[in-house]
Amino acid sequence: MQLKNNAYRLNETLKGVETMTRFALAVLALASGVYTYLGVRGILDGSATFVFFAAIIYSAAVSVAIYAFWSFMLRFVPLVTSGVQRIGLFVTMAIGCIMIMAMSSWLNAAALAGSAALEQHMAVTLQGYAQDLDSAHANALAAQSLLPDVQRAAERFDTLAASERESGALTGTTGSGSVVQLLSQMGSQMTQLAATITGSREEVSGLFDQGSARLATMRELVSTPGAIEPRSDQFQAEAVQLTAVIAALQQTGVAASVKRASADLSAGFIAPVADGASADLASRQDRVMETVRTSVAAQSAALTAAADEILATPLIEQRRFVPLSSAEAVIRYWSDFIPSWAGAISIDMLPVVLVLVLMIVNDALRRDADSLEEAENITAAEMLRAMALYRRMQETGVLSDQPIPQPATPEAEPLPDEPLAPAAHAPPDDATVTPIDTAQRKRNEGPVRP
């Protein structure tokens, strides 16, 4: 009896939540259609009227499809009891879920997180541009590391020229001869090379300041609230200007110029003719100039090697900002918007839970019910009419071929063989009713039927 009561309560509860289930399914389908409309509107191109009607038609089709599909699943899955048929419905439901996600869920995610995804795209691109600017600036300043070596070489040649002029430190003879001229020439070339390196520093600094200003503007565009489309367009314009600054920085590096100048020191070395008054002085001048040639060659090789190391640094590839639609941005940066994806999919997939709940409740209802649903809900009036119909069928002989269960009665005492009064006549008022009369009346009336 307890199982029957549980089955009755489950059945009544199912009838009570049926309206709520339809209402919830309609609201979910409508919500999915609204966000689908927002997502479709962001990826369509054309006039405003065309985009509006196209998005409305698509979102309406999605809402109707979702409502119809889950209505079928809510009605049929709980009723099917065969294992093979139920597996077939589950496979069908899985295919339908995939189709719903393909036509609706990703558009819902685009509507929920589209602006944030586009800002994420701009932020990632901005980070790349900042790295490119820093790398280009570092490469342009790399040649500045050669400046101390060039300045020391220039000072050494100038010092040797002064010492030879004043005290004859190299040849032993004072005066401005061939050695002094050669040392002064090398010192002058090194000084010019140092001036070239120093002059590039100011240009590099100016370009880096321009690039930093562009980056600051781009950061403001990323973080400023408001519509994303105009900010994205302005961001693209700033990105083009920043790309030009980075390219200019790469062309400003003087490493190649230093390499050429250092190679000229050795290859273009021109030693003056010894102008000593005596053969001994001329011989000493030739030996000193050969030593200077060797020193210049070593200095040239060192500068060339340092310049080659700087030039070996790979050039920065030109970066381009590619605008994305909100849907494309959500798909590209999906890992950063998992909560938005979960919410977009849950709107479409929540009826799966309702289907499973109805399936479990119907299985419990079938397991607990022992009779027909109509028998569980029969009223007292219906029961009385059924009993009256049963008695009439017995009286007319319709049920005469079927044995009628007889209630157990105690054995009556044997009665004497004497005439009995008709059963239809009641005893007189003053007559005494004896047990024998009562037993005889029961015998004439026959057994009591249910």
- Write down the pLDDT at residue 439: 46
> At residue 37, does pLDDT exceed 80?
yes
pLDDT band of residue 48 (cuts 50, 70, 90) is confident
* pLDDT tens column, 387-444: 888 888 888 876 555 554 554 544 444 444 444 444 444 444 444 444 444 444 544 4
Tokens 């500045």, residue located: 144
- Write down the pLDDT at residue 56: 93
* pLDDT tens column, 337-384: 888 888 889 899 999 999 998 888 888 777 765 544 555 566 778 888
> At residue 66, does pLDDT exceed 90?
yes
Identify the CA nearest to 13 among candidates 362, 367, 356: 362
**Half-sphere exposure in the Cβ direction for 1 (13 Å, CA):** 0
- Write down the pLDDT at residue 96: 93
Better-scored residue on pLDDT, 97 or 362: 97
DSSP per-residue codes, 87-143: HHHHHHHHHHHHHHIIIIIHHHHHHHHHHHHHHHHHHHHHHHHHHHHHHHHHHHHHG
Q: Which of the residue ranges 195-209, 264-278, 353-367, 411-425 would you say has the lowest mean pLDDT?
A: 411-425
Which tokens hold the place of 230? 């105009």
> At residue 154, does pLDDT exceed 70?
yes
* pLDDT tens column, 286-307: 777 777 777 777 777 877 787 7
Count CB atoms within 10 A of the CB of residue 80.
16
pTM across the whole model = 0.60
The Cα 61–Cα 66 span in angstroms is 9
The rounded mean pLDDT for the chain is 77
The Cα 196–Cα 258 span in angstroms is 8
Q: What is the mean pLDDT of residues 191-204?
A: 80
Taking the alpha carbons at both ends of the chain, their separation in whole angstroms is: 23
Identify the CA nearest to 310 among candidates 241, 246, 254, 350: 254
Helices then strands, each counted (H, E), the chain:
15, 0
pLDDT band of residue 73 (cuts 50, 70, 90) is very high
DSSP state, residue 96: H
- Write down the pLDDT at residue 25: 92
Single-letter amino acid code for the residue at 427: P
**Coil, strand or helix: which one is 433?**
coil
- Write down the pLDDT at residue 398: 61
